[in-house]
Amino acid sequence: MPLEQGTASEHVAEGRARYVAPGVVTPELVVAQAEGARITDVDGRSYIDFAGGIGCQNTGHRHPAVVEAIKEQADRYLHQGFFVGMYEPYVEVCKRLADLSACSGREQRSLLVNAGAEAVENAVKIARVATGRPAVVVFDYAFHGRTLLAMTMTSKVVPYKRGFGPFAPEVYRVPAPYPYRGATSDDAIAALEHLFKADVDPATVACVVLEPVQGEGGFIVMPPDYPARLQEICRKHGIVYVDDEVQSGVGRTGQMWAIEHYDGVEPDLLVSGKSLGGGLPLAAVTGRAELMDAVPSGGLGGTFGGNPLSCAAAIAVLDVVADRDFLARARELGENLRSRLEGMAKNHEGIGEVRGLGPMLALEFVAREPSRAKAVLSAAFERGLVLLSCGLYGNVIRLLPPLTLTDAEADEGLSILEEALVAAGSAD
Ligand SMILES: Cc1ncc(COP(=O)(O)O)c(C=O)c1O
- For 89-130, write each residue's pLDDT tens digit: 999 999 999 999 999 999 999 999 999 999 999 999 999 999
Amino acid at 191: A
Residue 259 CA to residue 243 CA, distance in Å, equals 8
DSSP class of 155: -
Torsion from C-alpha of 330, 331, 336, 341, nearest 10 degrees: 100
CA distances from 56 to 59, 61, 150, 256 (A): 8, 9, 19, 14
Q: How confident is the model at residue 425 (pLDDT cuts 50, 70, 90)?
A: confident
In this structure, are residues 396 and 219 in contact, taking their beta carbons and an 8 Å threshold? yes
Ligand 1 atom nearest 145 alpha carbon: 6
Residues with CB under 6 Å of ligand 1 are 54, 115-117, 120, 143-145, 211, 215-216, 244, 246-247, 273
Point out the ligand 1 atom lying closest to the alpha carbon of residue 142: 1
Helices 407-424 and 324-347: crossing angle in degrees, nearest 10, is 20
- Mean predicted confidence (pLDDT) in 253-267: 98
Helix locations, 222-362, DSSP H: 226-237, 289-292, 308-322, 324-347
Question: Percent of the chain at pLDDT above 70?
Answer: 98
Distance 76 CA to ligand 1 centre (A): 30
Whether residue 77 has pLDDT greater than 80: yes
Which atom of ligand 1 approaches the CA of 115 most closely?
Answer: 10
168 and 276 in contact (C-beta within 8 Å)?
A: no
Protein residue whose Cα sits closest to atom 3 of ligand 1: 144
CA distance 95 to 83: 18
One-letter amino acid at 404 equals: T
Beta-sheet pairing, 213-214 with 171-174: unpaired
244 C-alpha to center of ligand 1: Å? 9
What is the whole-number distance in angstroms between the Cα of residue 426 and the centre of ligand 1? 32
Residue 62 has pLDDT above 90, yes or no: yes
Cβ-contact 362, 355 below 8 angstroms: yes
Report which ligand 1 atom has the smallest distance to the Cα of 274.
Answer: 10
Three-class SS of residue 188? Answer: helix
The answer to whether residue 426 scores a pLDDT higher than 70 is no
240 within 8 A of 207, measured Cβ to Cβ:
yes
The strand pair at 135-139 and 171-174 is best described as parallel
Q: Which tens digits make up the pLDDT trace of 183-213?
A: 999 999 999 999 999 999 999 999 999 999 9
pLDDT above 50: residue 13: yes
pLDDT for 428 equals: 47
User: How far from the centroid of its chain's Cα atoms is residue 31's Cα?
Assistant: 22
Domains, the chain, ranges and CATH? 66-322 (3.40.640.10)
DSSP 8-state assignment for residue 251: T
pLDDT of residue 5: 73
Contact 283, 116 (CB under 8 A): yes
Q: How far is CA 145 from CA 9, 47, 115, 123, 155, in A?
A: 29, 28, 9, 13, 10
Residue 96 neighbours by CB distance under 10 Å: 17
* CA 346 / ligand 1 centre spacing (Å): 32
- 175 upstream amide cis, omega within 30 of 0: no
| Element holding 373 (H helix, E strand) | helix 371-382
* SS3 category, 327: helix
Nearest 5°: phi and psi at 18?
Answer: -80, -40
Nearest to 345 by CA among 373, 364, 370: 364
Q: Decide: helix, strand or coil at residue 104.
A: coil
Model confidence pLDDT, tens digit, residues 340-390:
999 999 999 999 999 999 999 999 999 999 999 999 999 999 999 999 999
Strands 135-139 vs 205-210: parallel, antiparallel or unpaired: parallel
pLDDT at position 4 is 56
Å from CA of 117 to ligand 1 middle:
6
Residue whose C-alpha is closest to residue 258's, from 353, 361, 382: 361
Say what the pTM is. Answer: 0.97
Atom in ligand 1 nearest the alpha carbon of residue 244: 1
* pLDDT tens per residue, range 292-347: 999 999 999 999 999 999 999 999 999 999 999 999 999 999 999 999 999 999 99
* Number of alpha carbons in the 13 Å side-chain half-sphere of residue 422: 7
Mean pLDDT of the chain: 97
> How many whole angstroms from 143 Cα to the centroid of ligand 1?
7
Residue 3 has pLDDT above 90, yes or no: no
Residue 391 DSSP one-character state? S
User: Rounded mean pLDDT of 138-158?
Assistant: 98
Average pLDDT over residues 267-279: 98
- 236: CB partners within 8 A, 6+ apart: none
